[in-house]
Amino acid sequence: MSGPDRASYDTVIIGGAVMGSSLAYWLSENPDHDGTVLVVEPDPTYEKSSTTLSEASIRHQFSEPVNIRLSMFATEFFADFHQNVQVDDEAPGLCFRETGYLFLATDDGMDVLRENHEVQRSCGAEVALLTPGELADRFPYLFVEDLAGASLGLRHEGTLDAYCLMRGFQQRARHNGVEYLTDRVVDLRLAGADDGGRRVTHVELASGDVVSCGRVVNCAGPRGRWIAEMAGLELPVEPRIRAAFVFACREALDGPTLPLTIDTTGVHVRTEPPHYLAGAPPLDDVEVDPDDFAVRHDQWEEVIWPALAHRIPAFERIGVTHSWAGHYAYNTLDHNAVVGPADAVPNFYFCNGFSGHGFQQSAGVGRGLSELITYGEYRTLDLAELGHDRIVRGEPFLEKAII
């Protein structure tokens, strides 16, 4: 393991997956930012990061405008991805498949679906509410008799390649001079008084190296709470297991491509050509050990398969081809991200708690944090509602459309 090039950096980013690398990208792209940036990441394969274990989909259907706008910005960024991240005209391909998201609802869920629809439309999202009849006409393979309606994303929603997004940010950030170090942050040193004047001064690494820093940014995903604790800060984010099951179906579905469909049971399913992919919260949705990646197969048998077979009768005859499990960084207060500085330690920045929507928020959150660091304010999209102050006050900022 070779050590850092310098003894001191303006910004140390803890965690180099999609969030850490997006921030590194945006800082290094901005001509107004002239600071040094170090990204510390223990695993350069990223095989256990949430990013590479993600289902890598993007939607505009959220309940909170800030989340809708973050995804809408991602759509813009992805459209020019090659131009944005290319180095010597080379860039990874994002392989976007525009399938739409389809949220299904019974009578109980229709009010929330309608409310969310109004908010989405007011933000400019291209979405449509469908009656059960319209749903059956459009997707004849769906069983709709127990449904009251659905919300369908008409444009810009679908699936991409999460690894390539992360690699794109990384290649350009490195090209711009950002340093990546293979090491693990094991502690933070702080100085100053407890009245808001405390500052992180040094980052201690597993190798024994210590680097001095102007600020740190916590991009440690499901392990983010432990980084916050190193600075004496509260972060109600825990690792929760989420498994993805890829399955083959004997029959082709008779109709247009299956959107990413969220059933009323909480089970979701989408295409994973030539197969399908499904998931759901586990039966016992609690904090897990961050090294626990065991797939809960009882979940498939007891919850997912029955729900799939009910909603799409052709899915009676399916078989799992493979499965994997990753972790949501799950914010137990309100399911929303925590982004921005800590009042008690102003040079400690949060970039945490993205549950199942961090992949699509990475471009917008990285851009926002880079503005906050460079100018001391958000200049494009205001992310203040996601700030840490609400955690300190214990006031939830609830996102209702969580998968």
Ligand X SMILES: Cc1cc2nc3c(=O)[nH]c(=O)nc-3n(C[C@H](O)[C@H](O)[C@H](O)COP(=O)(O)OP(=O)(O)OC[C@H]3O[C@@H](n4cnc5c(N)ncnc54)[C@H](O)[C@@H]3O)c2cc1C
> What does the binding site for ligand X look like in residue numbers (CB under 6 A)?
14-20, 40-43, 46, 49-51, 53-57, 184-185, 219-223, 242, 244, 326-328, 354, 356-360
What is the nearest approach in angstroms of ligand X to the Cβ of residue 185?
A: 4
Nearer to ligand X by Cβ, of 160 and 318: the residue is 160
> In this complex, which beta carbon is closest to ligand X, that of residue 149 or of residue 356?
356
Element containing residue 229 per DSSP (H, E)? helix 224-230
- Least separation in angstroms between residue 80's CB and ligand X is 19
Complex with ligand X: residue 69 or 149, whichever CB lies closer: 69
Shortest approach of ligand X to residue 184 CB, angstroms? 4
Longest dimension (CA), the chain: 67
Closest residue to ligand X, judged by C-beta, is 358
CB nearer ligand X, residue 29 or residue 204: 204
CB of 196 to ligand X, least distance (A): 25
CB crowding 141-151: b at 16 or more within 10 Å, else e: bbebeebbbbb
Distance between CA atoms of 153 and 156, rounded to whole angstroms? 8
Closer of 136 and 184 to ligand X (Cβ): 184
Q: Which of 363, 369, 333 lies closest to 348, judged by CA?
A: 369
- Residue 265 Cβ, how far from ligand X at the closest point, in Å? 17
Question: What is the C-alpha separation between 383 and 381, in angstroms, rounded?
Answer: 6
Find the shortest distance in angstroms from Cβ 323 to ligand X: 10
HSE value, Cβ hemisphere, 13 Å, CA-based, for 269: 28
Sheet-wide strand order for 97-98: 57-58, 158-159, 97-98
What is the CB-side half-sphere exposure of residue 6 using CA atoms within 13 A? 17
Nearer to ligand X, 147 or 288 (CB): 288
